[in-house]
Amino acid sequence: MEKFKEKKFWQKWNLTSPEYQLICQALNREPNELELGIFSVLWSEHCSYKNSRSLLKRLPTEASWVVQGPGENAGIIDIGEEELVVMKIESHNHPSAVEPFQGAATGVGGILRDIFTMGARPIALLDSLRFGNFQENLTQYLYSGVVGGISFYGNCIGVPTVAGETVFSDSYQGNILVNVMAVGLVKKGEIVRAVAKGVGNSVILIGAKTGRDGIGGAAFASVQLSEQSDEDRPAVQIGDPFTGKLLLEACLELAQFEEVVGLQDCGAAGLASSLSEMAARGESGIEVEVSRVPQREMGMSPFEIILSESQERMVVVVEKGKEDRVLNTLKRWDLDSAIIGKVTEEQSFTIKDRGHQVASIPLPSLVGGTPVIKREAKRPEGMEKVNHLDLKEIEEFEDYNQILLNLLTSPNLSSKEEIYQQYDYLVQTNTLIPPGDDAAILRIKGSKKALALTTEGNGRYCFLDPRQGARIAVAEAARNLSCKGAKPKAVTDCLNFGAPENRASYWQLEQAIEGLSEACRFFETPVISGNVSLYNEKEGKSIDPTPVVGMVGVVGDYRQVCSLAFKKENDLIFLLGESEEELGGSEYLEVIHKLKCGVPPVLDFEKEKKIQNFCRVMIEGGFLASAHDCSLGGLALTLAESCLANGLGAEVELKSDLRSDCCLFGETQSRIVVSISPTYYEKFREAALGEGIPFQYVGIVKGNRLKINQWINLAVSQLEKSWRS
Amino acid sequence: MKFGVVQFPGSNCDYDCYYAIKNILKAPVEMIWHKEKEHNLKGYDCIVLPGGFSYGDYLRVGAIARYSPIMTAVIDFALKGGLVLGICNGFQVLTEAKLLPGALIRNECLHFICRQQTIRVENIDTPFTKLYQKGQVLKIPIAHGEGCYYADEETISELENHHQILFRYCDARGEITREANPNGSLSNIAGICNRERNIVGLMPHPERAMEECLASLDGRLLFESIVIQLKQRQRRKFCPET
């Protein structure tokens, strides 16, 4: 045992000396290698949130419609008519950086298991992706690998990938972000908990056999990537969507059985975390016999069996003596299963190998006893310089035709069809508004209701001002949903940041969580689940802080939804909201002027909510022909996208004293471009005036050219050519 | 009259087909489990092999499903004249089982492709297409990685000569062009039938184009054609003199 101490063995496991002391205290002795390995993964940031937990407490998590907040595999909200929505977002950044295809594929598999673990049928996937410079060969490799991996897993398992974002920026060079969100439906009263209780009840491991893949993956996810990371490829797991599909169907059957006490996914940290967390939730203990675990390889040690992150495995706790129906169901689905242990009274995690005890850890210290680390936060140096932007120094142009075409060709604003066409976004036949719009809309079969889903996050805004960037991410997600006719209901968040030991990164995290809290509180969209991914750096350089907001909204009547496409000649185009002289942090500044500076746009919560509500009411009343959130690329891009969707042109005259570039490409918040049939004009106007909504008539849908003042005059076909190039 | 939807492990459009037949078509339908070796499919009038990734599509698409226990009964049912419809992965299984000629290989673009697709009705002289009009342009989504129809020249000309090509990929105006072909299929072939015209396979998903809210209704007539055929058959059975 002394040898551990001398060599500081725990450092290899990313544990600190004080943490090692705590472990010794909890055990009342020094741990053996297996026990140390278990502590290492469960006390990693990925599993314990030890660095972020104190900050995460600030997030609002409650509302009358929240059935399950953070703490379970996924969050749940009640949307009425006995229907519950389950959702969660998770990162798979580091595995995807090392092995993009499998990293992304297993990210999809893992998040789906979080959903069906609770007894819910997954109905949608969304992915929020960040890559480095588009021109780099490495980026091309990572990009096609990640898209291929999502396509491979999601398509095969039969869950539609309906929305998401793909952003390219130098800041993610060497540390890409792969955040995957899943949404499911379950009937009220049919939720299954991930709990182990009832002394003597059987613990059954089901699904794939356990192999040596992904050992220590959770710990790997909690350190910085380096040149050596490629050697960590064995820490990346291999996905098998076919087994995943069998597991999904089998688990949904098991969820209906009364004798099933609890169901838990074997995700990060494998059996180590799934067994200990289940037992901790049930205030029980678990005793497991590793020799009973079905193994893929010969001669696996208890350490390898317990810490393996082999995919497509679940743990189910079944009432003692009633295992047959469960085992038969699994057999029917051709899934391996084995009773590997039992629930015990004493709250400890006991591991045996052919009868000999090889580990025994008190659960309260393993699961609840992670030391909470309060880090020091400090605003990064040089923010004044970064936030400086003098518009007088920015050249204005007479003619913006080529600039608009350049923007449409740029990787962040061009068509994402090439990506989402590789995903089956239609399977399950619920997709009413497919990818490519502000949000996806999915009907709920057997109900009049529909769900609206979106993800949103702007790393550049957050780099310039993490708090404001996070506030905007929430507001924009809500606007995306409102533009489609949905009422925002809840959030799942994925916080992608640099190392918390770095005071600047920690400051960014703190600020962003503050911003998320304020906005989620204001928009009444509690955070019901989420994930924290720290250590997103390569060679000491941190990514732009990137909180990604996944949001779900509810549409009362699925027939009253609105897409972004202009529908008919002579429809009138209005801008809800007002443009300001803002260019800070805009896509325009970065793409055209190569500048990443200034401050993000101002956001007035009250005004934002008012405009969103108005837009939603207008859609519910059937008055709008189209509605499109005005965001990245400003008004010009918004108009162009509404034209491109149906190949219709628009004649627009903006009356404004603002600079031409601010008018066209400024990213002022709280703006929505809508088109309406002339017959509804009076009603629309009356309602807007009555509600005190700022609105401006800007033009009409007409012909096949987009004309904006004297600045832009381009054929839609020309726009399309650039957009799709 | 009763439809049966076969559930292979890895099928993922099984419920979509079931829903389309039961809730939209309002016709009787049951799921059929792949392991039922002794199943003789008695009482069924049309068997649907749905889309998905049967057996993970390991080895080769549809290759393992073809040896699934239920396939013995499906082949028997088909050879006796029962109506069999293979959609997407189901089409792949039918070619592997040699119930339909040719093969479906990797898309020319080498990746999965999901989109709304226009196809042209080439032949209406089958129980599956009788309610369409020849030359009608349909909007029906595709979603596949291995949908490139391939066969030797002789087979293709046989298909042509016996009017077995039912659907071809086309542009919005109904022109059969290279650009309109999403996967590199020979002769833009999207769907075919056997010479006896009771077995049909197609890559597009008609079950995804059955409702107003789903962007297209064009898949509906395919299922309605089957229903009409089956009803006529029933009538003949019970009133042979008419």
Tokens of A494: 């994925």
pLDDT of residue A321: 96
Same domain, yes or no: A664 and A609: yes
Question: Dihedral sign, CA of A656, A659, A660, A665?
Answer: negative
More confident residue, A707 or B62: A707
Q: Which residues contact A697 (CB under 8 A, 6 or more apart)?
A: A572, A573, A574
Residues of B in contact with A238 (CB under 8 A): none
Same domain, yes or no: A403 and A356: no
Domain boundaries, chain B: 3-238
| Closest by Cβ to A426, choosing from B10, B208, B210 | B208
pLDDT of residue B196: 97
A450 is a domain residue: no
pLDDT of residue A249: 97
Measuring CA to CA, how many Å separate A486 from each of A129, A493, A618?
Answer: 24, 19, 11
Q: Compute the nearest-CA separation of B2 from chain A (Å).
A: 22
User: Is A245–B10 a contact, with Cβ atoms under 8 angstroms apart?
Assistant: yes
Q: Compute the nearest-CA separation of B190 from chain A (Å).
A: 18
- Give the CATH number, domain containing residue A648: 3.90.650.10
pLDDT of residue B242: 44
> Are the C-beta atoms of A138 and A132 separated by less than 8 Å?
yes
> How far, in Å, CA of A346 to CA of A367, rounded?
15
The burial of B239, by beta-carbon neighbours within 10 Å (0-12 exposed, 13-18 middle, 19 or more buried), is given as exposed
**Which active-site residues of A does the annotation give?**
46, 92
> Are the C-beta atoms of A293 and A210 separated by less than 8 Å?
yes
Q: Please count the CA atoms within 13 angstroms of the CA of B71 that sit on its side-chain side.
A: 19
User: Is A156–B143 a contact, with Cβ atoms under 8 angstroms apart?
Assistant: no
Same domain, yes or no: A294 and A411: no
User: Is B205–A426 a contact, with Cβ atoms under 8 angstroms apart?
Assistant: yes
User: Is A155–B58 a contact, with Cβ atoms under 8 angstroms apart?
Assistant: no
Residue in A425, A428, A420, A455 with CA at minimum distance from that of residue A444: A428
> Are the C-beta atoms of A171 and A544 separated by less than 8 Å?
yes
First to last CA, chain A: 63
User: Is A156–B53 a contact, with Cβ atoms under 8 angstroms apart?
Assistant: yes
pLDDT of residue A538: 86
Taking CA–CA distances from A158, the nearest residue in chain B reads B12
What secondary structure does DSSP assign to A606-645, as a single string? Answer: HHHHHHHHHHHHHHHTT-EEEEEE--TTHHHHHHHHHHHH
Q: Compute the nearest-CA separation of B51 from chain A (Å).
A: 9
Radius of gyration (Cα) for chain B, nearest Å?
17
> Mutate which of A424, A444, A557, A567 to test chain B, going by most B C-beta atoms within 10 A?
A424
Q: Compute the nearest-CA separation of A234 from chain B (Å).
A: 23
Q: What is the mean pLDDT of residues A381-410?
A: 96
Residues of B in contact with A334 (CB under 8 A): 9
In the 8-state DSSP scheme, what is residue A311? S
> Are the C-beta atoms of A68 and A528 separated by less than 8 Å?
yes
φ, ψ of residue A145 to 5 degrees: the values are -65, -45
| Closest by Cβ to A421, choosing from B16, B56, B113 | B113
A276 is a domain residue: yes
Same domain, yes or no: A355 and A401: no
A220 pLDDT more than 70: no
Residues of B in contact with A557 (CB under 8 A): none
> How far, in Å, CA of A399 to CA of A711, rounded?
5
- Per-residue pLDDT of A259-311, as tens digits, reads 999 999 987 789 999 999 999 999 999 999 999 999 998 999 999 999 998 88
For chain A, the average pLDDT equals 94
Q: What is the pTM of this model?
A: 0.95
Radius of gyration (Cα) for chain A, nearest Å?
26
Q: How many CB atoms lie within 10 A of CB B92?
A: 31
- Compute the count of residue pairs across chains A and B with CB atoms less than 8 Å apart: 81
Residues of A in contact with B110 (CB under 8 A): none
How many residues are listed for chain A in this entry?
725
> Mutate which of B22, B112, B115, B144 to test chain A, going by most A C-beta atoms within 10 A?
B112
Strand order through the sheet with B113-121: B29-33, B3-7, B46-49, B83-87, B199-202, B189-193, B165-169, B113-121, B137-144
Least confident of A20-29, A228-237, A453-462: A228-237
User: Is B13–A158 a contact, with Cβ atoms under 8 angstroms apart?
Assistant: yes
Question: Dihedral sign, CA of A501, A503, A509, A514?
Answer: positive
pLDDT of residue A1: 45
Tokens of A285: 């203990």
Q: What is the mean pLDDT of residues A470-497?
A: 98
A634 is a domain residue: yes
In the 8-state DSSP scheme, what is residue A225? B
Q: Compute the nearest-CA separation of B56 from chain A (Å).
A: 5
A581 is a domain residue: yes
pLDDT of residue B40: 84
| Closest by Cβ to B114, choosing from A148, A156, A426 | A426
Residues of B in contact with A158 (CB under 8 A): 12-13, 52-53
User: Is B208–A429 a contact, with Cβ atoms under 8 angstroms apart?
Assistant: yes
Provide residues of B within 8 Å CB-CB of chain A: 9-10, 12-13, 15-16, 19-20, 23, 35, 51-53, 55-58, 111-115, 141, 143, 145, 205, 207-208, 210-211, 213-214
Taking CA–CA distances from A558, the nearest residue in chain B reads B213
Q: What is the mean pLDDT of residues A701-714?
A: 97
Residues of A in contact with B205 (CB under 8 A): 426
| Closest by Cβ to B112, choosing from A151, A243, A445 | A151
pLDDT of residue A311: 87
* Per-residue exposure over A621-632, b if at least 16 CB sit within 10 Å of its own CB, e if not: eebbbbbbbbbb
pLDDT of residue A234: 56
pLDDT of residue A399: 95
pLDDT of residue A222: 59
A641 pLDDT more than 50: yes
> Are the C-beta atoms of B90 and B54 separated by less than 8 Å?
no
Confidence of residue A217 (pLDDT cuts 50, 70, 90): low
Chain-centre distance of CA B121, in angstroms? 14
Confidence of residue A494 (pLDDT cuts 50, 70, 90): very high
Taking CA–CA distances from A245, the nearest residue in chain B reads B10
Residue in A160, A120, A166 with CA at minimum distance from that of residue A146: A166
User: Is B143–A155 a contact, with Cβ atoms under 8 angstroms apart?
Assistant: yes
Residues of A in contact with B115 (CB under 8 A): 421
User: Is B10–A427 a contact, with Cβ atoms under 8 angstroms apart?
Assistant: no
Least confident of A208-222, A304-318, A666-680: A208-222
Residue in A387, A343, A381 with CA at minimum distance from that of residue A363: A343
In which element (H, E) is residue A125 found? Answer: strand A121-131
A120 is a domain residue: no
3-state DSSP assignment of residue A431: strand
For tokens 């401006």, what's the residue?
A696
Provide residues of A within 8 Å CB-CB of chain B: 148, 151, 155-158, 240-243, 245-246, 332-334, 420-429, 431-432, 443, 445, 558-559
Please, what is the Cα angle at B92 between B88 and B98, to 5 degrees? 140
In which element (H, E) is residue A650 found? Answer: strand A650-652
Single-letter residue type at B2: K
In which element (H, E) is residue A219 found? Answer: helix A217-220
Residues of B in contact with A428 (CB under 8 A): 15-16
Residues of B in contact with A431 (CB under 8 A): 214
> How far, in Å, CA of B178 to CA of A415, rounded?
22
Taking CA–CA distances from B54, the nearest residue in chain A reads A242
φ, ψ of residue B124 to 5 degrees: the values are -110, 10
Confidence of residue A12 (pLDDT cuts 50, 70, 90): confident
Residues of B in contact with A148 (CB under 8 A): 111
A361 is a domain residue: yes
Tokens of A59: 């997030």
A42 is a domain residue: yes
Tokens of B168: 């071809």
- Per-residue pLDDT of A73-84, as tens digits, reads 999 999 999 999
> Are the C-beta atoms of B169 and B185 separated by less than 8 Å?
yes
Taking CA–CA distances from B9, the nearest residue in chain A reads A246
Residues of B in contact with A151 (CB under 8 A): 111-112
The burial of A200, by beta-carbon neighbours within 10 Å (0-12 exposed, 13-18 middle, 19 or more buried), is given as exposed
> Mutate which of B58, B87, B114, B183 to test chain A, going by most A C-beta atoms within 10 A?
B114
Q: What is the mean pLDDT of residues A109-130?
A: 97
Taking CA–CA distances from A428, the nearest residue in chain B reads B16
Q: What is the mean pLDDT of residues A6-19?
A: 77
User: Is B58–A158 a contact, with Cβ atoms under 8 angstroms apart?
Assistant: no
A589 is a domain residue: yes
pLDDT of residue A610: 98
Same domain, yes or no: A334 and A421: no
A632 pLDDT more than 50: yes
In which element (H, E) is residue A90 found? Answer: strand A83-91
A225 pLDDT more than 80: no
Q: Compute the nearest-CA separation of B147 from chain A (Å).
A: 13
> Are the C-beta atoms of A214 and A313 separated by less than 8 Å?
no
E strands present in chain B: 3-7, 29-33, 46-49, 83-87, 103-105, 113-121, 137-144, 148-150, 165-169, 189-193, 199-202
Q: Compute the nearest-CA separation of B230 from chain A (Å).
A: 26
Q: Which domain holds residue A314?
A: 1-54+193-370
> How far, in Å, CA of B162 to CA of B194, rounded?
9
Regions of chain B where pLDDT drops below 50 = 242
Overall domain count for chain A: 2
Domain B3-238 CATH (choose: 3.30.450.70, 3.20.20.10, 3.40.50.880, 3.20.20.70): 3.40.50.880
User: Is B214–A246 a contact, with Cβ atoms under 8 angstroms apart?
Assistant: no
Q: Compute the nearest-CA separation of B215 from chain A (Å).
A: 8
Q: Compute the nearest-CA separation of B223 from chain A (Å).
A: 16
φ, ψ of residue A236 to 5 degrees: the values are -90, 135
**Which active-site residues of B does the annotation give?**
88, 205, 207
> How far, in Å, CA of B54 to CA of B229, rounded?
29
